[in-house]
Chain A
Amino acid sequence: MPLEDLMWVEKYRPSSLEDLVDQTAVKQRLMALLVKKGQLPHLLFAGPPGSGKTSTAVIIAKQILGEHWRDYTLSLNASDERGIDVVRERIKTFARFADRREGVPYRLVILDESDEMTSDGQTALRRIMEENSEHTRFILICNYSSGIIEPLQSRCVIFRFQRYDEASVTEHLKSISKKEKLRHQGDSVFAAIYEATQGDLRQAINTLQAASASGELTVESVKAVTGAAVKGRVGAVIEAALGGDFEAARTRMVELTRVYGIPERDFLKYAYETLGSMKGFDRARAVSIFAEYDFRLVQGSQPELQLAAMLAQLARLKKEG
C-alpha cells in the first residue's frame, strides 16, 4: 500500500476545489480568479496549520497545468531549505526556463512555510518574481502573513484560511469514519478530538486514525492518543515543571528537542499554548517567565540552556506558591 493510502490525511486530501470543506470565501475568490488562467496573479495563502493551504495549492497546480503538473511545479519547503542561496539557485534556475508544453500557460513555484525564510531570502525572491512573472507564478504559503516582507505581500493576492469550527471538523471526521467503517461511541468522541486539536484538520484526522487503530473509537482511546501527540507531551513537560519537578521536566524536554527533533522555538510556542488549560499556579508570573525566556531564546546562543533555565523558574513558582 502506498504511503498516500496508508495515512488518512493523505488518503482524504481533497482533490478539487469543490471537495474542500468550508473555506467558502477562499473557494469563491479562487474560482473567480481561475476563470482567466493566463492572468492568474501570484498568490499568498495565510492561515493556521491544517487549514488546507497546501492541499489548495496542489489543487490549483493540477487544475492549471493539467496532467503534467509535476513537471512544471517546483515545491519547496522553506523550513527545510532556507536562505538566499537556495532561493537564488533552485528557484532561479527553475523560474528562468521559459520552455513549456501545449496547454501549460506558465510554471508554478509553491513555497511552503515561506515565513520561515530569512528576509534576505525573501528580498531575493521578490526580484526573481518580478523578473520572471511572464512565465512563472508563485504560491507562497505561511502561517502569518506578517512574517512575509511587505514588498512581497504587495505583489501577491492574499487569501486567508480560517481555522475550522467544530461543526465542520465533526462533519468531515464523520464522513471519514463512515468510509473506514469505524465503530464509535457517537458525538462525544468527535467533541474530544476537536477539543484536543482545535480546528487543525490534519491533527484531527491523524488523531482519528491513531485512536481507532485498536478497533474501537472511544473517548479514552482519543485521550490516549492526544497525550502522545507533540502538544500533549510538551504540555506534560510544563505540568511537571509547574508541579515543582524540574529534573523530570528537563529530561523530557531534552527528549522532545533532541530525540524527536522539535525545534526549541516550537517547543516554547506549544508550551505557551498549553498553559491556558492548566490550573493551580500564579498565572501572571508564569506568563512573564515565558515572555522573558522567549526573548532570551532568540538572543542567546544555546537554546537548550535557555529552556532548562525557564523550566527551573517555572518549578520555583510552586515552591514559592
Chain B
Amino acid sequence: MVGNDEGKAKLALWLKKWKPGGRAALLVGPPGTGKTTTVHLVADDMGVQLVELNASDARTKDRLDKKLGEVIYSTSLLGKTMVFLDEVDGLAGRADYGAIDFIKDAVKKSENPVVMAANDPDSDQVKKLGSSVTKIEFRRADLQTVRQRLEAIARLEGVDFGPGEIEELARVANGDLRSAINALQAGIPARKDEELTASESINAFFDAIDEGAALAALKAYPGQPREKIRDLFTSVVRSGVHEERKSEALDVLSRADMLLGRMMRGKDWRLLRYLDPTLASELWRSLGDGGPKYTMDAVPWPLQLRIWNDSKRLKEIASAAGRRLAISQKGFMVEDMPFVLLLCSDGGFRESFVKSLNLDEGYGAFLAKEAARKTGR
C-alpha cells in the first residue's frame, strides 16, 4: 500500500476503538485509491473476519437482511467479524430500494463493526448516511508517490525506461495507481533510446539481415503490441510476396495474435516477452528475401474510403429500421438490408423507405448509389 497509509491508520484506530452502538466507518475517495485493499489489509492485520457485499450483489433491503442479519444482530462464535459494504454509492435508487435506511438502522443496532466504501462524496447515498458514519478520506496519490512506486516496480521487473518516461506515465495516471501499474505492465511506456517510428521499425524488420537484427527492429517499435501485429499484418497482406510464403506468414501472425488475445483477456503480460522472439524467428524466416514494405492500410484506397464513408450510414439506417421493426441492428443488416438495397433501385420504394424512417434526403441519394452497386448497374 502506498499513499494512503494515513487512511489505513485511521481505519485501524477506528476499529480498535469501536464498541456496539458506535458509528460505522465510511471510506470515501476516487476509484483506484486503495479503499477496498485497505479494508482487507486492516481486517487481516487485526485478525477480523470480513462479511462482504459489493455492487455485483443485489442489495435490496430483504437481501441485505437475509445475508447480513445474522452477523449484524448477534455476536459471532467464530471470533471477531466486520461487515464490509463496498461501493455503497452504487446502490441504485429504485433498484436497491430501502437499502440505505436498512443500513442506517443496522449500524445503530449492530453487535459488530460495519465499514463501507464509496467513490463519490457528493452522492445521495453518502449524504443520506450522514452522521451515522465516521468518514475517512482517500485521496489520489500525489505525483511523487506514484512515481516512486512505479520506479520500484520497474526495478523489480528489470525493465528500463528512458528519462522522463515514468514521470509522464505517473502524470497521465492522475493519481490512479492501479491504472498506472496496469499500464506499466502492458509495456506501454517501454520505449528505448533507440526508438524508431512505426514505419522505420517495420521496414527494418523486413530488411533485417539476420534474426538478431529482426528482433532489434521489433523491439524498437514505438507502439503497443497489438498495433505492432496489425502493422506487420497490413504490410504482409498488401505486399507482392509469393502466395505460398504469404499464407505461411499470415499463419504465424494469426498465432501471434492468438497469443496476444489470451494475454489481454488474462491480463497476463508475462507472456509478452515471447512475442518479439517468436515473430523475429518465425515470421522473418517465412518471408525470405525481397520482403514487404511498411503499409498502413489493409485494403486498397477506394475500399478504405468506402469503409469510412458508407459503413456509418448503413449502420444508422439499420439501427433506425431495426428499432421500428423490433429487430437488432445486426439482425436488420444481415437479414433485411441486402433486400432493401435491391428494392431501393426502385425510386418509389426508396422514397417511401427514407420517409418512413424520417431520414433526410441525403440518405436517398446514398441508397440509390448502394442499390446501383448491388444490382451491378
Nearest Cβ in chain B — how far from A317, in angstroms? 10
A171 at the interface (CB under 8 A from B): no
Are B343 and A209 within 8 A (Cβ)?
yes
List of B residues within 8 angstroms of A302 by Cβ: 226, 229-230, 233, 257
Are B331 and A77 within 8 A (Cβ)?
yes
Given A207-B339, A299-B258, A313-B247, A255 contacting B330 (CB threshold 8 A): no
Closest to B357 in A: A3
Closest to B262 in A: A299
Interchain CB contact (< 8 A) of A254 among B243, B303, B334: B303
Are A113 and B334 within 8 A (Cβ)?
no
Are A206 and B253 within 8 A (Cβ)?
no
Scan A34-63; emit 1 where CB is below 8 A from any B CB, else 0: 000000000000000110001000100000
Nearest Cβ in chain A — how far from B177, in angstroms? 25
Q: A229–B60 Cα gap in the complex (Å)? A: 49
Q: A238–B31 Cα gap in the complex (Å)? A: 48
Interface residues of A in 210-258 (CB under 8 A from B): 210, 213, 224-225, 228-230, 233, 246, 250-251, 254-255, 258
Are A262 and B353 within 8 A (Cβ)?
no
Given A210-B342, A258-B307, A251 contacting B258 (CB threshold 8 A): no
Scan A89-115; emit 1 where CB is below 8 A from any B CB, else 0: 100110010000000000000001100
Closest to A128 in B: B58
Are A261 and B335 within 8 A (Cβ)?
no
Are A315 and B257 within 8 A (Cβ)?
no
Are A305 and B257 within 8 A (Cβ)?
yes
Are A308 and B250 within 8 A (Cβ)?
yes
Are A75 and B326 within 8 A (Cβ)?
yes
Are A261 and B333 within 8 A (Cβ)?
yes
List of A residues within 8 angstroms of B264 by Cβ: 301
List of A residues within 8 angstroms of B254 by Cβ: 293, 296, 300, 305-306, 309-310
List of B residues within 8 angstroms of A250 by Cβ: 237
Interchain CB contact (< 8 A) of B331 among A79, A96, A301, A319: A79
B352 at the interface (CB under 8 A from A): yes
List of B residues within 8 angstroms of A80 by Cβ: 319, 322, 328-330
Are A312 and B246 within 8 A (Cβ)?
yes
Scan B315-353; emit 1 where CB is below 8 A from any A CB, else 0: 100110110111111110111111111110110010011
List of A residues within 8 angstroms of B318 by Cβ: 261
- Majority DSSP secondary structure for residues of A touching B: helix
Q: A302–B231 Cα gap in the complex (Å)? A: 12
A127 at the interface (CB under 8 A from B): yes
Scan B286-322; emit 1 where CB is below 8 A from any A CB, else 0: 0000000000001110010011001100110011011
Q: A300–B255 Cα gap in the complex (Å)? A: 8
Are B247 and A7 within 8 A (Cβ)?
no
Interchain CB contact (< 8 A) of A7 among B97, B229, B340: B340
Interface size on B, residues (CB 8 A): 69
Scan B83-126; emit 1 where CB is below 8 A from any A CB, else 0: 00000000010110100000000000000000000000000000
List of A residues within 8 angstroms of B314 by Cβ: 259-261
Are B335 and A49 within 8 A (Cβ)?
yes
List of B residues within 8 angstroms of A79 by Cβ: 328, 330-331
Q: A236–B90 Cα gap in the complex (Å)? A: 50
Q: A84–B352 Cα gap in the complex (Å)? A: 38
B261 at the interface (CB under 8 A from A): yes
List of B residues within 8 angstroms of A301 by Cβ: 226, 257, 260-261, 264
B374 at the interface (CB under 8 A from A): yes
Closest to A296 in B: B258
Are A308 and B237 within 8 A (Cβ)?
yes
List of A residues within 8 angstroms of B255 by Cβ: 296
Are B257 and A255 within 8 A (Cβ)?
no
A131 at the interface (CB under 8 A from B): yes
Are B97 and A225 within 8 A (Cβ)?
no
Are B330 and A309 within 8 A (Cβ)?
no
Nearest Cβ in chain B — how far from A117, in angstroms? 12
A2 at the interface (CB under 8 A from B): yes
Some 12 contacts from A to B, beta carbons below 8 A apart, are A3-B357, A6-B356, A202-B335, A228-B375, A233-B338, A246-B243, A246-B246, A259-B310, A263-B330, A266-B334, A301-B264, A313-B251
Ordered nearest first, which 10 A-B pairs have the shortest CB separation? A312-B247, A309-B254, A77-B328, A309-B250, A301-B261, A3-B356, A206-B339, A300-B257, A300-B261, A210-B339
User: A207-B339, A296-B258 are known contacts; what are 16 more A-B pairs with Cβ within 8 Å?
Assistant: A75-B326, A77-B322, A80-B328, A93-B95, A112-B326, A209-B339, A228-B374, A229-B339, A230-B338, A254-B303, A255-B303, A300-B261, A302-B226, A305-B230, A308-B298, A319-B243
